Structure 1
Amino acid sequence: MAYDLEEQEKLDALKAWWERYGTLSMVLVLAVVLAFAGWRGWQWYASHQAAQAMGYYEALETAASQPGEESIARIKAASAALRDGYPASGYTARGVLVAAWALQDRKDLDGARAQLEWLARDASAPALQAVARLRLAGVLLAQQQYEPALAQIQGTAPAGFQGLYADRRGDILAAQGQADQAAQAWHEALAAFGADPAAQIVQLKIDALNGA
């Protein structure tokens, strides 16, 4: 098929462009296709991981709501699955708190302590980490592990936890027989709580300490 001069010039220009940029264009197109496929693949993976984590969380909640000693094994198994398989999931930190509460309620203080120690080391959820440290101090207090309990809540308390941490320090110091230090901690808690109803409970502790 014969081409006129103008068409031949266009074909020559197209061939020249393809020889110069064709490979680069194909590479760019392939990169876009692969990036899109990778993005869709990551979306599927993240959605799958979230669904799996939610399943274990729901299983943990179900086990926590069931009576009987046999529920303890199910609670620990579901929590372990979350911690080992989905440590970065938002379900995991919440699930560990549920597990700790359920185990403590069943008088399994060692089990509750293990859950809270894991969460206290997890910096990915600062608010829940602060809760875990407070709860862990309470479990250690119940086990009469006073120094480790204090270590969990020493130093500057996280924002919003100043009153709770000071109150728990007072509890631990009182259990150690350090009445003056306990009173000081409880007064710090009163100042932090302000008009919060929790201040009334702290005041009762101070009154009891003073024999009122």
Structure 2
Amino acid sequence: MAYDLEEQEQLATLKATWKQYGNLITWVLIIALAAYAGWMQWNNYQTNQAGQASQLYEELQKSVTAKDAAKIQRAVGDLKEKFPATSYASMAALVSAKTSFDANDLKSAKSQLQWVIDSGRGDEYKALAKIRLAGILLDEKLFDEALKQLSGEFPAELQADVADRKGDIFVAQAKLDDARKSYQVALDKATEKNSVKQLIQIKLDAIGGSVESVSK
């Protein structure tokens, strides 16, 4: 096939460009395809991990219903060891902590909560673990340690619970002004759907109401 002069010039330019940049273009394409393949493989791996973790978590829930402590600990251990990057591991540790707390095994409960704080996934799960750990430390009269757990930033939906727990600690320390302030913050941040809002109001009234009402 014959080419006119303009077409020949275009072909020459194309050949020169490919000669200069061909290897670079090829490597860019290889890298892009490898990245895409890696991304797809990672997604498949994540999906597979989540599926297996979900099955284990279902077994955990059955064990909790059956009150089978040995199976509970086994399921929680497997989730933490094999699927620590999934939210199921954090949820399992929180469930295990409650089971241990109900059995008055505070050492185990604290250990599970600390694992969520240190190694769990998800800010909400970490925040819940801190609030619950602060409650156990309050029962143990370790007030400073309890308050330390409640320092820093918390998700907006849990800030009422944090303030409420702080109020409980201040009451235990007989710091009623601080307790009133914390309970009032809890009330201000609690939504109408918050099931503990009425209880917070009862606790605030029991220590004399808000700071403003006491000063009047």
Compute the TM-score of the two structures, normalised by the length of structure 1. Answer: 0.73
Mapping 1:49-128, distance limit 5 Å: 49-67=49-67, 71-122=68-119, 124-128=121-125
Cα distance in 2 for partners of 1:36, 1:154 equals: 42
Residues 90 and 120 of structure 2 are in contact (CA less than 8 Å); yes or no, is this contact kept in structure 1?
Answer: no
SS at match of 1:154: coil
Choose which of 124, 130, 133 in structure 1 pairs with 2:130.
133
Cα distance in 1 for partners of 2:201, 2:94 equals: 28
Compute the TM-score of the two structures, normalised by the length of structure 2. Answer: 0.71
Deviation at 1:103, TM superposition (A): 2.0
Change (3 A) 1:138 1:41: same
SS at match of 1:65: helix
Deviation per residue, 1:50-72 (Å, 9 max, x gap): 232223212221221123xxx22
Deviation at 1:179, TM superposition (A): 2.2
Residues 150 and 162 of structure 2 are in contact (CA less than 8 Å); yes or no, is this contact kept in structure 1?
Answer: yes
Q: What code does the residue aligned with 2:73 have?
A: K
Cα distance in 2 for partners of 1:111, 1:93 equals: 15
| Residue equivalent to 1:10 | none
Mapping 1:182-201, distance limit 5 Å: 182-193=179-190, 195=192, 196=194, 198-201=196-199
Residues 167 and 183 of structure 2 are in contact (CA less than 8 Å); yes or no, is this contact kept in structure 1?
Answer: yes
Deviation per residue, 1:55-106 (Å, 9 max, x gap): 3212221221123xxx223222221221122111122122222222222222
Residues 109 and 139 of structure 1 are in contact (CA less than 8 Å); yes or no, is this contact kept in structure 2?
Answer: yes
| Residue equivalent to 1:167 | 164
Cα distance in 2 for partners of 1:149, 1:209 equals: 21
Change (3 A) 1:170 1:37: closer
| Residue equivalent to 2:174 | 177
Please tell me the root mean square deviation across aligned C-alpha atoms, in Å.
3.6
Q: What code does the residue aligned with 1:101 have?
A: K
Cα distance in 1 for partners of 2:80, 2:197 equals: 36
Q: What code does the residue aligned with 1:205 have?
A: K
- Tell me the number of residue pairs that the alignment of Structure 1 and Structure 2 aligns: 198
1:146 aligns with 2:143: yes
Choose which of 197, 205, 208 in structure 1 pairs with 2:206.
208
Question: Any unmatched runs of 5+ in structure 2?
Answer: 3-14, 210-216
Whose Rg is larger? 1
Deviation per residue, 1:140-178 (Å, 9 max, x gap): 222322221111112444312221111100111112222
Deviation at 1:126, TM superposition (A): 0.9
Cα distance in 2 for partners of 1:36, 1:198 equals: 48
| Residue equivalent to 2:10 | none
Residues 76 and 92 of structure 2 are in contact (CA less than 8 Å); yes or no, is this contact kept in structure 1?
Answer: yes
Cα distance in 1 for partners of 2:75, 2:142 equals: 28
Percent same amino acid among aligned pairs?
A: 34
- In terms of mean alpha carbon deviation, does 130-139 or 40-49 score higher? 40-49
Q: What code does the residue aligned with 1:209 have?
A: I
